[in-house]
Chain A
Amino acid sequence: MSKRQLAMVIDLNKCLGCQTCTMACKTQWTNRSGRDYMYWNNVETAPGKGYPKMWMESGGGFDAEGALNAGRIPSLENDYGAPFDLNFESALGMAGAAEQGNRPWLRPAQNPAYGPNWDEDEGAGEYPNSYYFYLPRLCNHCSNPACVKACPRKAIYKREEDGIVLVDQSRCRGYQHCVAACPYKKVFFNPALGRSEKCIFCYPRVEQGTAPACARQCPGRVRFVGYLDDENGPVARLVNKHKVALRLREDFGTQPNVYYVPPLSPPKYDARGEITDEPRIPLEYLVKLFGPSVPHVLETLRTEMEKKKTGQSSELMDILIAYRHEEMFTLGAPAERQKT
């Protein structure tokens, strides 16, 4: 195991679904060099097919005995979605290309079959008991990473100082065993470079004391970043002390280091149109995603909200409120990091 482990907590009760994180990551890392189709960070509407399409049913991870499960490599066109360009030249005619009468309208030069946010805001449930929530996803920098286990070259490793999982770009040969093995489908094959790439937890930023782009640039202020052994940091307190941050699909066996505060939801209506006190997101769905402690965590959240409302103190609410943006990230000063 690495000496320390960086982790992220994502509060789904504050997520706006705005995709600023997705775009922050895109311009930071994936708008070039064969990575255009990749979304190292994505936000999907849940329930939904997700990104890549049906990733949750694509295999990978470990079975009960700790052996790798079979996994599927998603298709670029149909599962990730090809990154289209637009027909600006022919549609707008600024380059003098347009002919009268048959000027096309502005649209993708290639018709997309899927995309990273294809089922945005579609959700489920019968109106008015419709429901959905936003699920941001990135590489989980797992403590038992299936990608590491699957790589025949041992070209994927966990950094001992922070537990960030990296694909060695000088040694990867693009076999894609890692792509299939990752149950979250967060390793991507770079067709231009012939090797696999994925979220690097913005380690070059982290090394300078700056939080990953998706976290620091989140206007909803939903992401906390810090070391799990830093007991005073918000991450450790949310994960270990208050135990309100849960792993996504822990049953995949990879021990993710991205945690989620599960979502509350407004109450349903009964058949007569009267309001009930039953949350509209089905509990069994949340349990499938975040495990058996979901009911307990939701109850904790409600209890602590009530405490805060009635003027009592609540450390949990104070952390989640995040009074100071910079305090959401406890990475240590760059100089301090170098010593570790």
Chain B
Amino acid sequence: MLNRRKFLKVSGVCGAGLALPGGAMAGALHVDDPLRAYPSREWEEQYRKELAATRGDSEGFAFHCSNCQGNCAWRTGAQGGMIVREEQLAQYPQINPDIPDANPRGCNKGIIHSQAMYEKDRLLYPLKRAGKRGEGKWERVTWDRALEEIAAKVVEVIQKHGPGGLMIHAGTGILSQGKRAGPLRLGSLLGAIRLYPSSAVGDMFTGASVAYGVPNVGHSLDAWFEMDYILLWGINPSVTRIPDAHYLWEGRYRGARIVTIAPDYNPTSIHADMWVPVNPGTDSLLAMSLVNAAFEDKLYKEDFIKEQTDLPFLVRKDTGLLLRESDLRKDGSGDVFYFWDKKTNSLAEAPGSKGSKRDTLRLGGADPALEGTFTAQTRNGKVQVTTVFELARREAAKFSPEDTAERTGVPPAMARRIAREFAAAKKAGLTIGFSLHKYAWGILACWAQALFCALTGHAADTGGLDTESQWSLGGIGPLSNPKPARFASGFLSEWIAGGMDDSLKKHYGDKEFKARAGLDADALIKLSRESREKKWLAHYGEPKARIIFADNFFRRNKSAKNFKDTVLAATELLVAVNFRMDTSAESADYALPSFAHYEGWDIRGEVGYHRFANLVVPPPGLRPVGEAKSEWEICRLLAEKIEAAAKAGGVAKIPDPEFSVTVDGAQTAVTRDMDTLGADFTMGGRIATDKDVTRWLVENDPAFQPWKFEDAAARGFITLNREAGLTSPLYASKPYHSFEEQVYLRRPYPTLSGRQQFYVDHPLFLKLGAAVPTAREPLHPSRFPLKFYSPHTRWGIHSTWRTNKYMLRMQRGEPHVLLNASDAAKRGVSDGARIRVFNDVGEFFALAKIGAGVRPGSLVMEHAWEPHQFKGRAGLNSVVAGLLSPLELAGGWGHLKFGPEWDGNQLALESSVEVALAQASAGDT
């Protein structure tokens, strides 16, 4: 045996600590054989005491209200009034012995919030800007003073510009019903502008809206376990759905075949049965190739598409418009449509459409023709008509797997194989992520995916398209929306506010863009104006005062520098309410500290990944962090101050004729009651605190019944009841799937046709050649060689926790980009090098990391680094141009009317860049 001294090669772990304590060997215990027995084990108490200390002396429940939608139940422990640690509750009941339970929901971010909530970026006191905006000079002020000054400005702005001069916006940093109630209620009472958050962040599934009338469709994620075939397309659940991903890999053990489609070999692909590498942004082409294969290889299910889709509907060959009752009769409806009944060999009215008197999809004895050209007698003579099926098949014929292979990078045999396997599977699901709709043609990709699912007959409990299932939480309106607010398009409002037309012209102002998009940049900008003027999408102008809750808009928006400069120049008052100093709070006039996740009462239940509504119950005796307050209390105090300021200025009730409400059956103009705002906000004093809000929600939401507030608070979560389902019941022991009512009860879909819709004769869709699902090439300018995309990271929920030291220590400490080794070598870039990423929009600096799974020709940067983590505070959106998807500017047609089910996306993933080694300068390294 070697001498112990010889094998010990000290290589420098804290050299000083190595000094051997003198006389250490003295008084040594006699240990015979430490593998058998050890004589002295009293010391083991040490770690037992540590365990007790991490549990604390009081316990609470929590979830994180962040925009991961994970919604996981945790137990929090506090010691001496401070949270010490959290651990997953892991108490969800198993709904069915044949399906794995949902425990222990949670992830690497939630688990360190006990540390993050006391970090040095925590806002402790109300701060008022003491230097220029964004300079980083602050004066600590009292809540009273801050709110009085803000209230005075709010009253001034409303007097001068009307309620639309004010924006009160709750961003995606607070997505719980409890935390959102305050800002939503205050903004609604005042008639302030609020943006549609899902649209502003690019999370609208517009392709699903077109097809189904609702963007959020699909299944609870435990349904993955029961699938036979799972297509994961542009989604990376091992990273972005950490609490639910186990259902995939357990489903694979049960017998599912899992196929992932993504440009990079990612943490989800590593466990898949097959990974399909695809060129970034070519998803609509690949989706149309699957549609093509479904048509050409006759994989379609006729019975299903005849009844559940508009594919048999007739289209006029002369105008390209759907054949309507108004074509046939003078007083006919524009919302009644026809198919050709093979039984009677004549036109037949399709039941179930928006204008139909029959509220069902049942065809009776009719047999709709899918193929053929027919003659219809209209009031202006005979016209030739054909079916949507014919037109869709003809369009799909342009995109055979062989034709698209070069552009998508997917071998034709593989596309055909996916189509075949998907069609043949008993239960086949196609889950897409939020990335697809951050490309201009995401809407087309998703619409084509919906068509593929429809053709292959997958819907409800046999699978189909899964975007993001959401529960129906009724009954919240009286709390969060007592009066109409100025609910504005998210993506369009921010695109206009930030002057993003500038970067659109710069980055996409050439012929290449026109050839691919079907219109040039100027025409697209003109279209955005038309959309606004025709009120296809809602836009209420630029607010003078912005009170923003938990929205990191200066981090999130594209063409970032221009956005920030433009918005700041137009804004007289900018208030950021947040628990930490994020990049947006940094440029505010006032930064107000709110509770973080564990500190106030709260409840969240809208996320359809699972069926549990979680509560936050702060541990008894928990001390507030600094002077942080709940969102509800901040809004309540602000409401009181606004009322006082209004009264002092002689302002009482401000008429707001843009809106009316129905009171006792009569239309009544809305007034903004400044003189009673305080009492109106609290429902006459009934709801004063965040605990009152949580209690109100438990008592008033039908999906939470029969749970009593006290019982829910003692358990930490509520199991949602049957009512939570939107288009299907939520059964107690089965995963949820959308559209069981449509598929089995034959109730119409919320679309113009009453069916899954694959023909849109909106003038814009017709003009752009997209009346049926089609595909377009991605819009990355070829002037810059690398396609830049920024998928979600496992190290933050957007920018929340992105600057946490525990998260950063698991990375490289600073923002990094990922390159393929071949692209790096061409540019002399090695792992760890500091590089400049640039294009004609802007530039930023980051570290380079080489990844074997990165597709050559692309540059990947996990998203949502705070701009203040970059040199010069220029974040990754410095190089992302403000692109618009022209089809998402449509509106005013059928079910494509602006509202929660129809708004477009702020696009994020379609810019091109070049990289180069950065010139080192002082302070860089």
Contacts and interface: CB of A to CB of B under 8 A. Distances in A.
B568 to A, nearest CB: 17
B246 A191 contact: no
Nearest to B243: A219
Contacts of B28: 153, 171
A325 B253 CA distance: 16
B111 A27 contact: yes
Contact of B2 (A70, A120, A169, A213): A70
Nearest to B114: A27
A249 interface: no
A128 B274 CA distance: 12
A82 B8 CA distance: 22
A89 interface: yes
Contacts of B242: 16, 18, 20, 219-220
Interface in A105-147: 105-108, 111-112, 115-118, 120-128, 130-134, 145
A2 B866 CA distance: 52
Contact of B131 (A100, A108, A121, A151): A100
B45 to A, nearest CB: 9
Contact of B809 (A16, A83, A126, A189): A83
A204 B29 contact: no
Contacts of A216: 87-88, 90, 104
A175 B48 CA distance: 25
Chain B binding surface SS class: loop
A220 B245 contact: yes
A287 interface: no
A189 B7 contact: no
Contact of B17 (A127, A170, A191): A191
Contacts of B36: 1-2, 158, 160
B17 to A, nearest CB: 4
A96 B135 CA distance: 11
B272 interface: yes
Contacts of A176: 8, 10, 13, 18
B567 to A, nearest CB: 21
A284 to B, nearest CB: 18
A121 B138 contact: no
A248 to B, nearest CB: 18
Nearest to A97: B136
A74 B11 contact: yes
A36 to B, nearest CB: 9
Interface residues of B toward A: which range? 35 or more
Contacts of A145: 35
A323 B99 contact: yes
B380 to A, nearest CB: 54
A148 to B, nearest CB: 5
Contact of A16 (B43, B86, B267): B267
B11 A305 contact: no
A108 B810 contact: no
Contact of B249 (A13, A115, A275): A13
Interface stretch (B209-217, B389-397, B690-698, B800-808): B800-808
Given A26-B112, A118-B812, A92 B121 contact: yes
Given A191-B17, A217-B87, A69 B7 contact: yes
Contacts of A272: 411
Nearest to B257: A309
Contacts of A81: 809
A72 B90 contact: no
Contacts of A157: 31, 34-35, 37-38
Interface in A67-113: 67-77, 79-81, 83-86, 88-89, 91-94, 96, 98, 100, 103-108, 111-112
A221 interface: yes
A246 interface: no
Given A19-B108, A111-B813, A28 B852 contact: no
Given A127-B855, A132-B853, A68 B2 contact: yes
Nearest to A143: B35
B365 interface: no
A73 B8 contact: yes
Interface stretch (A226-234, A314-322, A331-339): A314-322
A116 to B, nearest CB: 6
Contact of B255 (A126, A166, A305, A320): A305
Given A20-B107, A98-B135, A325-B104, A159 B4 contact: no
A203 B44 contact: yes
Given A84-B805, A176-B13, A323-B101, A67 B1 contact: yes
A70 B249 contact: no
Contacts of B269: 266
Given A86-B803, A213-B87, A216-B90, A115 B106 contact: no
B814 interface: yes
B659 interface: no
A325 B101 contact: yes
A31 interface: yes
Contacts of A56: none
A220 B820 contact: no
A308 B414 CA distance: 25
Contacts of B100: 221, 321-325
Contacts of A324: 94, 100-101
Given A75-B13, A88-B119, A266-B275, A217 B40 contact: no
Contact of A122 (B11, B411, B852): B852
B828 interface: no
Interface in B336-379: none
A169 B273 contact: no
Contacts of A217: 87-88, 104, 106, 111
B47 interface: yes
A221 B246 contact: yes
B330 interface: no
B383 to A, nearest CB: 47
A28 B2 contact: no
Interface in B1-49: 1-2, 4, 6-14, 16-21, 24-25, 28-29, 31, 34-38, 40-44, 46-48
A173 interface: yes
A107 B586 contact: no
A217 B870 CA distance: 33
Contacts of A267: 274
Contact of A128 (B98, B121, B265): B265
A180 B650 CA distance: 79
Contacts of A243: none
Contacts of B43: 168-171
A104 B852 contact: no
Given A13-B271, A105-B872, A219 B104 contact: yes
Interface centre among A1, A13, A106, A274, by most B CB within 10 Å?
A: A106
B245 A122 contact: no
Contacts of B41: 159
Contact of B1 (A27, A68, A83): A68
A155 to B, nearest CB: 8
A289 interface: no
Contact of B808 (A86, A125, A266): A86
Interface centre among B10, B106, B809, by most A CB within 10 Å?
A: B809
A42 B188 CA distance: 48
Contacts of B12: 73, 75-77
A218 interface: yes
B25 to A, nearest CB: 7
Contacts of A94: 120-121, 123-124, 127, 138, 581
A252 interface: no
13 contacts: A89-B120, A92-B581, A105-B869, A112-B813, A127-B855, A159-B41, A174-B17, A174-B18, A194-B21, A203-B47, A263-B270, A266-B269, A321-B253
Ranked 8 nearest A-B pairs via Cβ: A93-B136, A309-B255, A191-B14, A157-B34, A88-B120, A157-B38, A191-B17, A70-B7
Given A67-B2, A127-B854, A217-B111, 15 more contacts: A20-B107, A69-B7, A89-B120, A105-B869, A118-B812, A127-B277, A131-B265, A157-B37, A174-B18, A177-B4, A219-B107, A221-B246, A309-B254, A324-B100, A326-B103
